[in-house]
Amino acid sequence: MFRRASEAGARVSLSVDGTPIAASAGDSVAAALLAAGITVCRTTPVSGAPRAPYCMMGICFECLVTIDGVGSRQACLTRVRDGMRVETQQGKREAGR
């Protein structure tokens, strides 16, 4: 539930759980998710509760997503890249992926 208050930079295309979204060069993955209206980025390994970015500065570890096959990455510390594959994390991270 975020909108751009200024002109976006160069367009970057990435996918989230298989669905393509548009982002702006310079966005963090977390910002791109929020701009695309994706409100939940993971469910917790303890109770399966929905979570989303909270601090945007690498402190809270709520924005954990799988990026290009590597799990539990902090989306707020990772810049978007064309062709990036993002997957939201459901519950426990599966061993071996």
Partner 1 sequence: MSAIRDRYDLAVIGAGPAGLAAATTAAGLGLDTALFDEQPAPGGQIYRAITETPLGERSVLGEDYWHGTTLVEPFRQSGAQYVPGATVWSVTREGEIGVSVAGAARLLRARHVILATGALERPFPIPGWTLPGVMTCGAAQILLKSSGLVAKGKVVLAGSGPLLWLIAAQYLRAGAEIAALLDTTPAANWTAALPHLPCFLASSYLAKGLTLIREVRRRIPVIGRVMSLAAIGRERVEGVAYRAFGDSERRIPADTLLLHQGVVPNINLSSAIGCAHRWDAAQLCFRPEVDDWGMSSLDGIAIAGDGAGISGALAAEQRGHLAGLDAARRLDKLDEEARDRAAAPHAAALARAERGRRFLDLLYRPAEGFRLPAPETLACRCEEVTARQVLDAIALGVQGPNQLKSFLRCGMGPCQGRLCGLTITELIAKARGLSPDVVGYYRLRPPVKPITLAELAALPHGEAAEKAVVRG
Partner 2 sequence: MPFPPRFAAERVICGSAPPLMPSPDVIVIGGGLHGCSAALHLARRGVAVRVLEKDYSGRHASGVNAGGVRRLGRHYAEIPLSVASMELWHRIRDLVDDDCGFESHGQVKVAENETELELLARRVAEVRALGFTHEELIDRQALREVLPAVAEHCTGAIYCRADGAANPYRTTLAFRRAAGRAGADIVEGVRVTAVRREGAGWRVETANGTAHRAAVIVNCAGAWADRVAAGLGESAPIIPSAFMLMISNRLEPFIKPVVGAAGRPLSFKQFANGTVLIGGGYKGTLDRDANWTELDFRGLAESARTVWDLFPAMRGSQIVRAWAGIEARMPDDIPVIGPSATQDGAFHAFGFSGHGFQLGPISGAIIAELVTTGRTNLPIEPFRISRFAAAG
- Please give the residues from 51 up to 70 whose contact with partner 1 meets the rule CB under 8 A: 51-62, 64, 70
- Nearest residue to 21 (alpha-carbon basis) of 64, 90, 83, 65: 83
| Position 77 contacts partner 1 (CB under 8 A) | yes
The long-range contacts involving 3-9, CB below 8 angstroms and separated by at least 24 positions, are: 3/35, 4/35
Closest CA to 75 of 6, 29, 27: 29
Nearer to partner 1, 45 or 83 (CB): 45
Residue 82 in the binding site for partner 1 (CB under 8 A):
no
18 touches partner 2 (CB under 8 A): no
Binding site for partner 2 (CB under 8 A): 45-46, 70-72, 92-97
